[in-house]
Structure 1
Amino acid sequence: MSKDSPHAAFSAAERHGLYRAIFERRDVRSQFLPEPIPAEVLARLLQAAHHAPSVGFMQPWDFLVIENRELRARIQAGYARENARAAENYRGERAERYRRLKLEGILDSPVNLCITCDRRRGGPHVLGRNSMPEMDRFSTCLAVQNLWLAARAEGVGVGWVSILDPVELAELLGLPEGVEPVAYLCLGYVSEFLDEPELAAEGWRQRLPLTELVHGDGWGRPLEAEALALALEGLEPR
């Protein structure tokens, strides 16, 4: 397909929208509003997630929409235990800073969503998975990213809660054997999308320079393509 085909590159406005969603996507913890997400919006987000690429087209994901407050409270209690354990990894000022961070919105958001990976889907021999069996989990993460970007375009905030015991979470959700939780997400409209990631704003960690992460023809080697090297240096910092 030639670059002049109407089905090739997006228009400038379409590209702008896509890159805006990428650059303005945030992991939301503190800005959720109680306003419910309309069913048609949530359906579009799930459809976007379901259209993610997957190895062998196995589509290993399932989506558990969690609205029950009692269940969410039990999940939040599990988070609190795991978060207290995680805090023990830090000392001094770093520990105090960690304890001040708000790292979940399980009860603050109007709806939670757990995206799972069915490691049995597609049978014992999935095309493209023989050498890298973890590809089913990687594929599920692509579904998460699809949903996250679509949510940003819809004005919906998403927060990924990773401080959970996956075994306990699977039990609470009644997951069958062979199905594991990959992403526990909090979804809802927000009061604002922060200008920068919250952990960067809180001084926990900053974005690494892209120019230090791109290698040429092997680890640690400079790029031979001078034009690409110059283009990377000329990118606007974000």
Structure 2
Amino acid sequence: MKEHPQRIFNDKEQALLEEIMIHRRDVRGNHFLDTPISQESVNRIIEAALAAPSVGFSQPWEFVLIRDQKTKQAVKETFSEETARAAMQFTDEKQKEYIKLKLEGILEAPLNMAVFYKPADGPVLGQTSMPNMGKYSVVCAIQNMWLMARSLNIGMGWVSILDPEKVKQVLGAPEPNQLIGYLCFGYTDMFYNQPELELKKWDRKKLQKEVVIQEKYT
């Protein structure tokens, strides 16, 4: 069998990937435009997901594309319920800041996508000792979509303030499936040069020296 030469990337390509990663943003509803996303772009985003690594080449993902406003509204209702509950976890100034934040774009984004983990029927290579590896594989697929969307100048927001079981009911998902990500896609009127929560002083970006440990914890 003839071997194909391996793909080697040059400095310019490496720098471009770094730029895309650095400028990836979580886009909120107040910045989504109603401009439709072409099917070609949707296909490219999904193909990026399918190129993600998965434990034991299990590819344990399923993607539900949602454009119907009634379905979006039903998902938005569980967001509203969970947002009110989550606000109570913060106190004083943080709670006031939380309430002011626009944390999703479910109704505004032209395309919503629910990403599910579909458990395998039997054992999966590499997943027997760490059972959550299948779910981590789905997260890798989501990150791939985020980067591809950004390279297409399409915004993506990951909505995590949801009741996953209620979302499953809205979408009629099979019982074994687990919701990993609820995503909003759309063109945007702007991409922040820094993460929005960093700009709003919600928290600061950590430095390498704060998170990198050499050899072992002491």
The CA deviation at 1:9 is 3.7
Distance 2:138 2:182 in 1: 12
Give TM-score, length-normalised by structure 1. 0.87
Distance 1:17 1:130 in 2: 37
Point out where structure 2 has 5 or more consecutive residues left out of the alignment. none
Q: 1:128 aligns with which of 121, 126, 129?
A: 126
Partner-residue secondary structure (3-state), 2:79: helix
Structure 2 residue aligned with 1:44: 44
Larger radius of gyration: 1
Point out where structure 1 has 5 or more consecutive residues left out of the alignment. 1-5, 221-238
For 2:100, give the aligned amino acid.
R
Structure 2 residue aligned with 1:175: 173
Distance 1:104 1:131 in 2: 35
Q: 2:57 aligned with 1:57, yes or no?
A: yes
Structure 1 residue aligned with 2:106: 106
For 2:158, give the aligned amino acid.
W
Identity of aligned residues (%): 39
**Alignment RMSD, CA only?**
1.1
Structure 1 residue aligned with 2:14: 15
Larger RCO, structures 1/2 (Cα 8 Å, 6+ apart):
2
- Per-residue deviation, residues 100-149 of structure 1 (Å, max 9, x unmatched): 00000001111101110001x2x321000000000010000000000000
Kindly report which structure 2 residues correspond to 1:78-97, keeping only aligned pairs within 5 A, or say none: 78-97=78-97
Structure 2 residue aligned with 1:118: 118
Distance 2:97 2:186 in 1: 26
Distance 1:113 1:16 in 2: 30
Partner-residue secondary structure (3-state), 2:64: strand
Partner-residue secondary structure (3-state), 2:31: coil
The CA deviation at 1:7 is 3.5
The CA deviation at 1:8 is 5.0
Distance 1:219 1:148 in 2: 32
Give TM-score, length-normalised by structure 2. 0.95
The CA deviation at 1:31 is 1.3
Distance 2:8 2:31 in 1: 35
The CA deviation at 1:82 is 0.3
Q: 2:149 aligns with which of 141, 148, 151?
A: 151
- Per-residue deviation, residues 31-84 of structure 1 (Å, max 9, x unmatched): 111101000001000000011000010000011000000010111011001000
- Per-residue deviation, residues 170-192 of structure 1 (Å, max 9, x unmatched): 11111102111100000001111
Distance 1:104 1:8 in 2: 38
